[in-house]
Amino acid sequence: MSDKIAHVTAATFDAEVLKSKILTLVDFWASWCGPCRMIAPILDQLAEQYAGRVKLCKVNVDEESDLAERYRVMSIPTIVLFRGGEVLQTSIGVKSKKVFADWIDSNLE
């Protein structure tokens, strides 16, 4: 996994995500989730591609069920884009790198 992706917990979520000065993509995932494992390399590539412009974070829903509940995560992987502490958009399931990149690009200021 890329060292450019932060593992976020309930204790660090506000500082890492809600108070982030840049667009932040949060991957709600679990280790047992096949589709989550499928998009992990894509997210690693996106973290490299958007370094300094977009922050990528992961939340393990098994360990951080309160955060999953707070953002109404019912299926994983759920990817949520945040800016200024607000949810911009949510995507559920596996998508191609191009789809994620287009999604990010359309939300960059």
User: For the domain that residue 60 is a member of, what is the CATH number?
Assistant: 3.40.30.10
Domain span holding position 74: 5-104
Given phi > 0 = left and psi -120 to 50 = alpha, else beta, which region is 93? left
Q: Give 2's pLDDT tier (boundaries 50, 70, 90).
A: low
Is residue 13 one of the residues assigned to a domain? Answer: yes
Is residue 55 one of the residues assigned to a domain? Answer: yes
Residue 21: phi, psi to the nearest 5?
-85, -10
Q: Are 27 and 56 in contact (CB under 8 A)?
A: yes
Mean of pLDDT values over 22-35: 97
Establish whether 57 is a catalytic residue: no
Is residue 44 one of the residues assigned to a domain? Answer: yes
The model carries a pTM of: 0.95
Is residue 45 one of the residues assigned to a domain? Answer: yes
Total of domains in the chain: 1
Is residue 92 one of the residues assigned to a domain? Answer: yes
Is residue 109 one of the residues assigned to a domain? Answer: no
Which of the residues 5, 8, 26, 36 is marked catalytic? 36
Tokens encoding 33: 């989730």
Is residue 18 one of the residues assigned to a domain? Answer: yes
